[in-house]
Amino acid sequence: MKVIDPHIHMSARTTDDYEAMAAAGVVAVIEPAFWLGQPRTNVGSFIDYYSSLIGWERFRAAQFGIAHYCTIGLNSKEANNEALAEEVMDILPRFLTKEGVVAVGEIGYDEQSPLEDKYFRAQLDLARELEMLVMIHTPHRDKKKGTTRSMDVALEHGLEPSRVVIDHNNEETVREVLDRGFWAAFTIYPKTKMGNERMVEVVRQYGSERIIVDSSADWGVSDPLAVPKVANLMAQRGIAEHDIHMSCYQNALDAYGQSGQFNEADWLNPAAIDQRTLFEGNSVLRGQAPRVDEDEPAKDVAVG
């Protein structure tokens, strides 16, 4: 079964993860720009981070036969450093037009502070100006109010709900998100937020329309195989194949495909130029076999 993980921070993951993901059927990933755990102190750190999302990480994923995309944005936590946030806002437009950037994101609220609100709104305006989709991170604390507020503000700034993905939902938020016409994404964490079993029950109750499963795997305790595992669990629990396909593949494709930067052909039948640029020939394309069996480039990576 093919699955998409539309929210995963691959820069924080190992090549073992890439291999395991490819073997488990993950064909494409979206890596949202976010907080690195350690706060950044200057705009150059953001420039290099965004560059690595559109450059090195994209290339690294392709070596394992996985198509890599990203979202670019100023995360809510670091929006609280106003001087830095101003500088980041200046450089954002340069990155938003790059190859494989599918949305502005992940943006939204953490503590729901005034500065977070200011830069959330500024980025929503940028998304509208550049006709881009938006991926919204909902806060972990005071989630229900924060989720409602995120949607209110998105509408206030003229975004179409069908062009906004609300992420990190739970049983308490999903109803309102779906009722208001937004995409509802669920992050499967092994210990917090949504667990696998709970996700199965959400799909059982709400069906699969506009529901998206992701792992948000990062440098914390998290599981890069969360999406294929949930898909398997759904099958075991008797969820219809159609609902599994929609929630673990098709909805992500439909939502982010609106960007024009996220097309099934990219992984099913890459253009010749993309093969030359990212896949280096036919071996990955044809056999879906990870390229790591060729030891030299990997070794060069390790020492370089």
Q: Summarize as ranges the residues that interact with another protein (CB under 8 A).
A: 47, 50-51, 54-56, 58-59, 91, 93-95, 97-100, 260, 271-274, 276-278, 280-283, 294, 296-297, 300-301, 304
Least Å distance, CB 100 to another protein, is 7
Least Å distance, CB 10 to another protein, is 15
Least Å distance, CB 130 to another protein, is 10
Least Å distance, CB 269 to another protein, is 14
Residue count of the chain: 304
How far is 281 from 170, CA to CA, in rounded Å?
42
Cβ closer to another protein: 83 or 272? 272
- Give the closest residue to 248 by CA, choosing from 229, 265, 272: 229
Cis amide linkage into residue 294, ω under 30° from 0: no
Least Å distance, CB 73 to another protein, is 16
Least Å distance, CB 87 to another protein, is 14
Cβ closer to another protein: 101 or 199? 101
The sheet with strand 164-167 has its strands ordered as 3-5, 26-32, 67-72, 101-108, 133-137, 164-167, 183-187, 211-214
- Bridge partners, residue 184, by sequence: 166, 211
Least Å distance, CB 174 to another protein, is 34
Cβ closer to another protein: 71 or 196? 71
Cβ closer to another protein: 179 or 300? 300
Cβ closer to another protein: 133 or 278? 278
Token pair 């056999």 in the structure block, residue: 287
Residue 279's φ and ψ, nearest 5 degrees, are -100, -5
The two tokens of residue 26 are 């993950």
Cβ closer to another protein: 117 or 280? 280
Residue 27 corresponds to which amino acid? V
Cβ closer to another protein: 191 or 286? 286
Least Å distance, CB 31 to another protein, is 14
Cβ closer to another protein: 54 or 213? 54
